[in-house]
Amino acid sequence: MHVFCSFRQFKNISCCSLTIWLVLLAVNYTMKHYVIISLLFGCSLSSYSQVPLRTYTYVNKQMTWAGAQQYCRANYDDLATITSSKEMSSPAFAYSQVWIGLHDDPNAWMYNMGNESNSWRWSATGETSPTGYKNWSAGQPNNKDGHETCVVMNPNGQWDDVICAQLNPFVCYNVTNQNQTMYVFIANNFTWNSAQAYCRQYYTDLTTINYSDDNAAVYSAKPQAQLVWIGLYRVSYTWSDNSPSTYRSWYYLSPNNYKFAEFCALMSINNWDDSPCGSAFNFVCERVSKQKTMMRIKIKTDSDITNSVINAQILQQLSAKLSIQGWTGFDLHWNIKPQKIKQETGRTSACNFS
């Protein structure tokens, strides 16, 4: 299938009037389903999708969560990711107690600062710790009751994970013109998210602590006996296939991390519960439909579109826009290198999307 694209006033790969329509045809279902994506460079990106990206298979083999993950990756694509209630209507989920691909691997956050999607991150950067510095209290972090994903500094200067809805004072920071960090204690009792918003509005952010000297400075900025929010947080429970899906269908009060030992999601009909990952259950695997599309691009420009740097930038911007839209695992490359068209003001090329 071919898609024709029209570029207007394309210069320096940054023009806001550049628009592309992609039409992708999914052929692995009995009905025709289409994806339409509008890419507006430098302005906006929107999409409309009716393509069932995943097909699910119930596997009647009792395995641990890790064993089920390994089996699915060897025979399908991965353990099942669920992105909507509609997907849960698949017959593969019409069984009691099956593993799905959601988990909260403790190796990524309990024993070290980690570098995974469910690891600890600093508010100011959204990134995991660059130094690995930590100052946890004994037995912390433990994610008690399954909802402790924000961090306080306690009166001893050590860290505890607590629920983010707790109300506490906090410490913000600013960086001076002399590149020195200034810490400011705020006595208001806020949730972690409200404290973050306050710091970002009036200062730089909640505190970042990458070294013991940082920790000592934050400790000195607060009243000694006071417990305060710091900028450490994490997103618990992520999908085995690294999907960004935020859809959840937990039972009431789940996850609860019972006995501090439940880190994997078990589905029973339409609701989920956390369970010990070493327990043996049947499971659901997924296959993710892969599509390949050819785009024919006609460009009107004064630039030399045959220049390898320019056509590499085109692919780079296309990739960026698709990533923002939530596409993963795709590859863009020129099937035919851009060439000038004789007796026309435009230049044309074919771009392969898979």
Segment 44-68 shows an average pLDDT of 75
- 12 pLDDT band (50/70/90 cuts)? very low
CA dihedral 121, 126, 130, 134 (to 10 degrees): -20
Q: What is the pLDDT of residue 53?
A: 77
Least confident of 24-28, 122-126, 140-144, 261-265: 24-28
Q: What is the pLDDT of residue 312?
A: 78
Q: What is the pLDDT of residue 342?
A: 55
Segment 27-39 shows an average pLDDT of 31
CA–CA separation, 269 vs 266, rounded Å?
A: 10
CA–CA separation, 82 vs 144, rounded Å?
A: 26
Kindly list the strands in the beta sheet with 19-26, ordered across the sheet, starting from the edge strand earlier in the chain.
Answer: 19-26, 33-40, 44-49
Segment 328-343 shows an average pLDDT of 62
Segment 10-17 shows an average pLDDT of 29
Instruction: Identify the residue with better confidence: 69 or 315.
Output: 69
- Nearest-CA neighbor of 24 among 38, 42, 45? 38
Instruction: Give the helix/strand (H/E) hosting 320.
Output: helix 308-324
CA–CA separation, 264 vs 279, rounded Å?
A: 10
Least confident of 106-115, 197-206, 300-309: 300-309
Q: What is the pLDDT of residue 326?
A: 59
Tell me which CATH code domain 54-104+237-288 carries: 3.10.100.10
Segment 146-170 shows an average pLDDT of 97
Rounded to the nearest integer, the mean pLDDT of the chain is 80
pLDDT at 126 over 80: yes
Instruction: Give the helix/strand (H/E) hosting 191.
Output: none
Q: What is the pLDDT of residue 201?
A: 97
- 310 pLDDT band (50/70/90 cuts)? confident
Q: What is the pLDDT of residue 3?
A: 32
Segment 237-261 shows an average pLDDT of 93
Instruction: Identify the residue with better confidence: 49 or 264.
Output: 264
Domain boundaries, the chain: 2-51+289-353, 54-104+237-288, 117-233
Least confident of 213-217, 246-250, 314-318: 314-318
Q: Are 337 and 352 in contact (CB under 8 A)?
A: no
pLDDT at 24 over 50: no
Q: Are 11 and 305 in contact (CB under 8 A)?
A: no
| Length reported for the chain | 354
Instruction: Give the helix/strand (H/E) hosting 135.
Output: none
- 339 pLDDT band (50/70/90 cuts)? low
Q: Which residues 6+ apart lie within 8 Å of 334 measured at CB?
A: 311, 315, 349, 350, 351, 352
| pLDDT tens per residue across span 194-242 | 999 999 999 999 999 999 999 999 999 999 999 999 999 999 999 999 9
pLDDT at 38 over 60: no
